[in-house]
Amino acid sequence: MEGLNLISTFAEFKELKNIDRPTMMSVLEDVFRNQLIKMYGTADNFDIIINIDKGDFEIWRNRVVVEVVEDPSTQISYDEVSKIDNSYEIGEEYVEEVKLSSFGRRGILNLRQNLSGRIMDIEKANLYTRYMERIGEIVVGEVYQVWKKEVLVMDEDGNELLLPKTEQIPSDFFRKGDTVRAVVSTVEMKNNNPMIILSRTAESFLERLFEQEVPEIFDGLITIKKIVRIPGERAKVAVESYDERIDPVGACVGVKGSRIHGIVRELRNENIDIINWTANMQLLIQRALSPAKIISVKINEEEKRVGVFLKPGDVSLAIGKGGSNIKLAGMLIGMEIDVFRDIEEEEEDVLLTEFSDEIDEWILVALKSIGCDTAKSVLALPVSEIVRRADLEEETVIEIQRILREEFE
């Protein structure tokens, strides 16, 4: 039975199509030689013949015929050989086949375990290598298990992939058996096991979706210059065409939005703004803050800050819901954007300096540093955005907005 088990393991090893023949031969020989060393102290005088095609093997032991044996592992006495075959003479090499049965039950079990272990190691190494080469590519899998912090996904070959909660779009909801598309984010070895992490929030996922939906991007006629996302909420994609006859924005949107709709559905209705890329920074800022109309722009390269002046009615458009539009625009251009109202256009607004009796001077300075120089400019921003950009406490910002709001009530 043990012999049959070993042969079945051998056959399993032989069926691995993704391992090259030399590696297969080397591993098999190595496993047998290690067992021979345990049994005989050395494997140098053994010939191992492996037939990959038939799935079998032969082991031959070579010993020199001597009158007095000094090293039993490499020598055999003339008297012992004569009992088997009297044609041998002293000094000749005696060759005998080592049968699998001579290994004993424990030896065969060790062979099988070692061979199974090597098979598993090779499978893990191949899986790791295969997915390392697929980082940044989209994979399609089936949800096998849903946990609180992650989802276990099985690929078409039955390999386990992980989609952590942090890499899921906030509105994602999966059940066992659902089909899921995601991009291969990272691949690492953990406790000698390949861990393949998927992501639906990475910018590369959105980029691959565009490549699948827009042939001009796949063919290289349109290039995606940069993508920034707040997963599930909003994204900005800057594109450029190398062919003057192709409108990159129109090509990405498609007729009646046919191309972009599929991407939006996959991303749980994420709002996607497609922008014509330009090397002109002022023009890029204007496009990034669309649909708001900009009056003027002041760029501070040293501090990586941009001051944008708008009509009062366009401020909320530039900031966007929850500050998403201005945040993504800043990520796209790589600078912090401060929004300023054009005071001449706003008679009803009040300068922050008018509140110096109720608000500390250092707080007013902090608010001005992020482009908020009027009461309405502070009220237009979410509390969380002011806290982040002005480095103020949340309670302080809430109190400031209360004071300013009373001015208009």
CATH for 271: 3.30.300.20
Q: Tell me if 46 is assigned to some domain.
A: yes
Residue 155 belongs to domain with CATH number = 2.40.50.140
Residue 391 falls in which region: left (phi positive, over 0), alpha (psi -120 to 50) or beta: left
pLDDT score recorded for residue 346? 47
pLDDT score recorded for residue 286? 92
Is 154 in the same domain as 42?
A: no
Q: Which two tokens stand for residue 309?
A: 């002046």
The amino acid occupying position 87 is: S
Could you tell me the residue range of the domain that residue 148 belongs to? 140-201
pLDDT score recorded for residue 108? 79
- Spans of the chain below 70 pLDDT: 1-21, 52-56, 342-348, 409
Is 107 in the same domain as 169?
A: no
Question: Alpha carbon of 151 to those of 157, 180, 267: distances in Å?
Answer: 17, 10, 17
The answer to whether the peptide bond before residue 164 is cis (omega within 30 degrees of 0) is no
Q: Tell me if 271 is assigned to some domain.
A: yes
Query: Domain end: 201, 223, 240, which one?
Result: 201
Q: Tell me if 21 is assigned to some domain.
A: yes
Is 25 in the same domain as 112?
A: yes
Distance, C-alpha 328 to centroid of its chain:
22
Is 241 in the same domain as 270?
A: yes
Q: Tell me if 210 is assigned to some domain.
A: yes
pLDDT score recorded for residue 14? 56
Please give the Cα distance from 319 to 120 (Å, whole number): 54
pLDDT score recorded for residue 3? 45
pLDDT score recorded for residue 205? 97
pLDDT score recorded for residue 4? 43
Query: Domain end: 249, 277, 305, which one?
Result: 277
Please, are residues 337 and 306 in contact by the beta-carbon 8 Å criterion?
yes
Q: Tell me if 89 is assigned to some domain.
A: yes
**What DSSP state is assigned to residue 16?**
-
Is 91 in the same domain as 24?
A: yes
| Residue 347: other Cβ atoms inside 10 A | 7
pLDDT score recorded for residue 118? 81
pLDDT score recorded for residue 54? 64
Tally of domains within the chain: 3
Task: Give 140-202 as a 3 state SS string.
Answer: EEEEEEECCCEEEEECCCCCEEEEEHHHCCCCCCCCCCCEEEEEEEEEEEECCEEEEEEECCC
Is 164 in the same domain as 223?
A: no
pLDDT score recorded for residue 335? 92
